[in-house]
Structure 1
């Protein structure tokens, strides 16, 4: 089931994050500066908390965790756990339980075709996806 809707989920995930980013600050430089000063709060319908390179968003009971690291052309980074949290708290998909291995199997072809890119730091490939 997850294989059929994984692209839709990723589109929704990125749109959710971008909606927050545009409300927080439409300018990327300003976003970076404001996120280092305003570590938690509310903006619009979003509740947010920055923690290290990570950010936790909540809106309408949907939890969206992501890492924001503008170290390359892929500023949004996430782990399997983070996208799983988004899926399970989002009623749109009607998924109550999802094995992480099943999610990994759905994401793997997207890495192979270049839709997603794994994070590489110091020649180490991490189980972190970038989009």
Structure 2
């Protein structure tokens, strides 16, 4: 079982994304426009690359992948793999191996208490988490 405070991990994950977004463009509409034009580059301590609805951030060796799809009130979306990458590249967590099934099981209580919400699109519940 994962010995990690996933609420703290989520807080760190969202903080990193919000820090990038505020440096890239604090206005959400401008952010969307800029992200479609400036597909990759560096800003501050961030290296970034937009790909489709996704974005890959790197800062101090930490990899943060997320999907930015403002299709509902949860603009930040991620898969198990994306969260796993964030955890494994963040030395502060001290984890060098992580089974996706373990992470899925550890995230389940956060879905139950509505900290996270799974994406429902086209009547299908996807294995995509939203926050």
TM-score (norm 2): 0.98
Match of 2:78? 78
Q: How does 1:46-65 map to 2 (within 5 A)?
A: 46-65=46-65
The Cα RMSD (Å) is 0.9
Match of 1:115? 115
Match of 2:129? 129
Q: How does 1:3-18 map to 2 (within 5 A)?
A: 4-18=4-18
* Mapped partners of 1:129, 1:3: distance in 2: 20
Q: State whether residues 119 and 127 of structure 1, in contact with CA within 8 Å, keep that contact through their aligned partners in structure 2.
A: yes
Q: State whether residues 39 and 51 of structure 1, in contact with CA within 8 Å, keep that contact through their aligned partners in structure 2.
A: yes
Q: State whether residues 4 and 93 of structure 2, in contact with CA within 8 Å, keep that contact through their aligned partners in structure 1.
A: no
Unaligned stretches of 5+ in structure 2? none
Q: State whether residues 63 and 85 of structure 1, in contact with CA within 8 Å, keep that contact through their aligned partners in structure 2.
A: yes
Shift of 1:3: 5.4
**How many residue pairs were aligned?**
131
Match of 1:96? 96
Residues 10-52 of structure 1, C-alpha deviation per residue, up to 9 Å, x if partnerless?
A: 0000000000000000000000000000000000000000000
Q: What SS class does the counterpart of residue 71 from structure 1 fall into?
A: coil
Unaligned stretches of 5+ in structure 1? none
Shift of 1:2: 2.8
Divergent runs of 4+, >6 A: none
Match of 1:28? 28
Q: What SS class does the counterpart of residue 97 from structure 1 fall into?
A: coil
